[in-house]
C-alpha cells in the first residue's frame, strides 16, 4: 500500500505545482514549504535561511573552520551548546523531518533527499520531474526572474544539488534507478499529474 510519494526534481521544472496538485487530488499532506518551515522551527532560524542552505554543501573554508573548532579544546566546550543552522545541520534535521513525515503516511514530500532517505521503504513511490533547459529558463522568467538570473539558476541549483547528493549518498544526480517514474513536465502540469496518478493506481492494483 503506497502511503508516501516523493518528488525529486530539476530546478525550474515546475515540480512544486505538480506536487501541490498531486497532494490536493490525493488528499495528502504536502511537505514542501511545510518541510522548510519545520526545519527552521527546529533549528530556531528563519525559513529563508533554510531555503538558502538546504540541498547544498557548506563552503570548504567553513567546513575546515568547523573541523578546527571541534578539534580544539575551546571548540569542544562550545560546540555541544551551539545550535548551528549550517548546511550539514539542516541536512540532519531534514532527514529527521522526512522520516517522521513518511512514518505518518499520506504524504507528498518534495526533494530534500527524501527519495534516497526512504529508498528501502516499500510504502513509498518515487518520482523525478525534469524538463529541457530552455523550458526551465522560460518557466523561471515567467516567475519573475531576469534572463540572466533564470539561466544562472537553471545551471547552478542542480549542480549544487548534484554535489550534495554525491557527498551524502555517493550517487550521481539524478540516479535513475532510484525512481519508479520519471516525468518530462513539458507535457503540461495536468498531464504530468495524471501520469503520476495513473502509475500509482497501477502499482496499487
Instruction: Judge contact between 181 and 194, C-beta under 8 A.
Output: no
pLDDT value of residue 71: 52
- Tell me the H-state helices in 54-188: 60-71, 73-78, 87-104, 114-117, 133-142, 147-169
Which three three-digit cell numbers place residue 175? 540516479
CATH topology of domain 4-204: Rossmann fold (3.40.50)
Instruction: Judge contact between 12 and 144, C-beta under 8 A.
Output: no
In the chain, count H helices and then E strands.
10, 5
Contacts for 56 with CB less than 8 Å, ≥ 6 apart: 87, 160, 161, 163, 164
pLDDT value of residue 84: 59
pLDDT value of residue 45: 85
The structural domains of the chain, with segments of one domain joined by +, span 4-204
Which residues does the chain have with pLDDT short of 50? 58-70, 72-82
pLDDT value of residue 64: 43
Amino acid at each position: 500500500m503506497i502511503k508516501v510519494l516523493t518528488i525529486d526534481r530539476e530546478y525550474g521544472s515546475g515540480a512544486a505545482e505538480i506536487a501541490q496538485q498531486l497532494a490536493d487530488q490525493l488528499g495528502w499532506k504536502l511537505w514542501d514549504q511545510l518541510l522548510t518551515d519545520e526545519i527552521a522551527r527546529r533549528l530556531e532560524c528563519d525559513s529563508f535561511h533554510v531555503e538558502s542552505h538546504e540541498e547544498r554543501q557548506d563552503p570548504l573554508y567553513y567546513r575546515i573552520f568547523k573541523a578546527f573548532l571541534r578539534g580544539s579544546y575551546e571548540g569542544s566546550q562550545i560546540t555541544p551548546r551551539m545550535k548551528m543552522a549550517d548546511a550539514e545541520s539542516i541536512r540532519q534535521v531534514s532527514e529527521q523531518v522526512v522520516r517522521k513525515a513518511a512514518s505518518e503516511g499520506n504524504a507528498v514530500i518534495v526533494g530534500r533527499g527524501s527519495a534516497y532517505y526512504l529508498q528501502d521503504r516499500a510504502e513509498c513511490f518515487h518520482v523525478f520531474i525534469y524538463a529541457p533547459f530552455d523550458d526551465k529558463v522560460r518557466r523561471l522568467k515567467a516567475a519573475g526572474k531576469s534572463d540572466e538570473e533564470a539561466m544562472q539558476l537553471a545551471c547552478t541549483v542542480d549542480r549544487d544539488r548534484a554535489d550534495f547528493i554525491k557527498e551524502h549518498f555517493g550517487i550521481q544526480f539524478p540516479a535513475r534507478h532510484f525512481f519508479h517514474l520519471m516525468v518530462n513536465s513539458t507535457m503540461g502540469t495536468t498531464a504530468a499529474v495524471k501520469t503520476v496518478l495513473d502509475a500509482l493506481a497501477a502499482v496499487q492494483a
